Amino acid sequence: METTLLIFKPDAVKRRLLGRIIQRLEDRGFKIRGLKMTQISKELAERHYGAHKDKPFYPGLIQYITSSPVVICAVAGPRAVEVCRKMMGATFGWKAESGTIRGDFGISNSFNLIHGSDSTDSAKHELGLFFEDGELQDYDMPDDAWVFDPAEDK
């Protein structure tokens, strides 16, 4: 089981899409291990998006992610990073396939609704940025035996 970080960005919050996005994750069989609404500080945004510091879109990205509250979500399940990224769709909404979060709810290059960790290493790093020790919960789901095949989903 992997745990990955998702951030429901300001446009997802302001467009009242949180419940619909979370429903998709739960319908797929993922477990929500942590969920909180917060306002990301400029300093935290700069740490989180540090890899993009020299790119021309960086100042706008920092302004956008700090412009209003976001929802931080830790999601667990087999291949969580890869599957959540597929569920998100292409970065630019107009390029995202129908059936994905961005493809169904977005069309913008700038306002793309959701961030997801791009690897298990970045997930560990990002989870540490946004969740304190003890904030992620682990619990049994009664339907796991019907959602995941233990022989293939270790």
Q: Show which residues are catalytic.
A: 115
User: Which residues 6+ apart lie within 8 Å of 5 measured at CB?
Assistant: 72, 73, 74, 75, 115, 116, 117, 123, 126, 127, 130
CA distance 72 to 53: 22
Exposed/middle/buried for 139, CB within 10 Å: 0-12, 13-18, 19+?
Answer: exposed
